[in-house]
Amino acid sequence: MRGFWPIFKRELFAFFVTPLAWVLLTVFLLVQGAHFFLLVDHLSTVTADAGDQTPLEAFFGDTVVLYLVLFLLVPPMTMRLFAEERRSGTIETLMTAPVSVPAVVLAKYAAALVTYIAMWLPTVLYVLILARTGGIDLHAAAASYLGVIVVGAGYLAIGLFMSALTRSQFLALLGTALVVLLLFLVGMGEFVTRDGTTLHDVCVHLSVWSTMTEMARGVVDSRRLVWGATLIVLPLFGTVRVVDAWAWG
């Protein structure tokens, strides 16, 4: 793991000195703030309906806003990671330092993940506010955040992999967005395939939507976590192979 720590620190630094980071953070918090506002508004006016849906479920599950946020947030966060280093040539100075390829890959990934988690932190305030008005299940809240982190971590790993495949940040952005969209659509298959068919089961199992809906209810299914871990580990492993291949292929 030689080189992990300095690269991790530099990546965090590099992300937050770009204007892009602050644009993303602002848009993210604006969208989540508006979302929260609409949610509270909704819950306070339609009290009769609120019985079958907890605020957490409305915030994290059964809502397209979350996916919109992930879809808009993750690709620009990861596009730079390897593509920019290869375009500008700094990858050569990086890789000729005594660092191991897994350390480089994991350091970049960890920096993106920490940034992502940091972006979600302010939203904990919303949950706390909801908790004060009563009726919030802390277990379900923890499960919701676990879901957000697992799904986000998978998307970030896919973004990192895409960034390693090309010198163009734009192509990395496009590739990540496409794969994320595809994953979402596979999950949507749950609602178009017939109940009881294998295809339906597969769709349900792979569905990010159902994962989040379940977790917002406080249900943590280990099979969903395994699928989440696969979405993280597979792209990371692929990235290590790709980075290895640039030099030695």
Partner 1 sequence: MTAIAVDKLTKRYGTHLAIHDVSFTVPRGSITGFLGPNGAGKTTTLRILAGSLGKTSGTVTVAGFDVETSSLEARARIGYLPEQAPLYPEMRVVEYLTFRAELKGVARRDRRAWVDEAMEKAVVGGVRDAMIGKLSKGYRQRVGLADALVARPEIVLLDEPTAGLDPNQIHEVRALLRGLGGAHTVLLSTHVLSEVEASCDRVVVLARGELVAEGSLEVLHAAAGSFVVVLRGEPEAARTVASAVADVTRVEASSVDEGTTRLVVHLAASASIDPVVAALVSAGMGVREVSPVRTSLEEAFRALTLTDKGDETGASS
The number of angstroms, rounded, from the C-alpha of 43 to the middle of its chain's C-alpha atoms is: 27
- Please say which residue, 99 or 179, places its beta carbon nearer to partner 1: 99
- Please say which residue, 23 or 178, places its beta carbon nearer to partner 1: 23
Q: How far is the CB of 87 from partner 1 (least distance, A)?
A: 10
User: Helices 80-88 and 4-17: crossing angle, nearest 10°?
Assistant: 90
Can you tell me the distance from the alpha carbon of 20 to that of 17, in angstroms, rounded to the nearest whole number?
A: 9
Q: How far is the CB of 91 from partner 1 (least distance, A)?
A: 8
- Please say which residue, 94 or 136, places its beta carbon nearer to partner 1: 94
221, two tokens: 């299914």
DSSP 90-151: HHHHHHHSS--HHHHHHHHHHHHHHHHHHHHTTHHHHHHHHHHTS---HHHHHHHHHHHHHH
Q: How far is the CB of 20 from partner 1 (least distance, A)?
A: 12
Category of 41 on φ-ψ map: left (φ > 0), alpha (ψ -120 to 50) or beta: alpha
- Please say which residue, 4 or 59, places its beta carbon nearer to partner 1: 4
- Please say which residue, 6 or 135, places its beta carbon nearer to partner 1: 6
Binding site for partner 1 (CB under 8 A): 2-3, 5-7, 9-10, 13-14, 17-18, 88-90, 92-100, 247-249
Q: How far is the CB of 92 from partner 1 (least distance, A)?
A: 5
Listed in sequence order, the residues at least 6 apart from 75 whose beta carbon sits closer than 8 Å to its beta carbon are: 159, 172, 173, 174, 176, 177, 180
- Please say which residue, 98 or 134, places its beta carbon nearer to partner 1: 98
Q: How far is the CB of 3 from partner 1 (least distance, A)?
A: 6
Q: How far is the CB of 158 from partner 1 (least distance, A)?
A: 25
Dihedral of the CA atoms 61, 62, 67, 70 (nearest 10)? Answer: -10
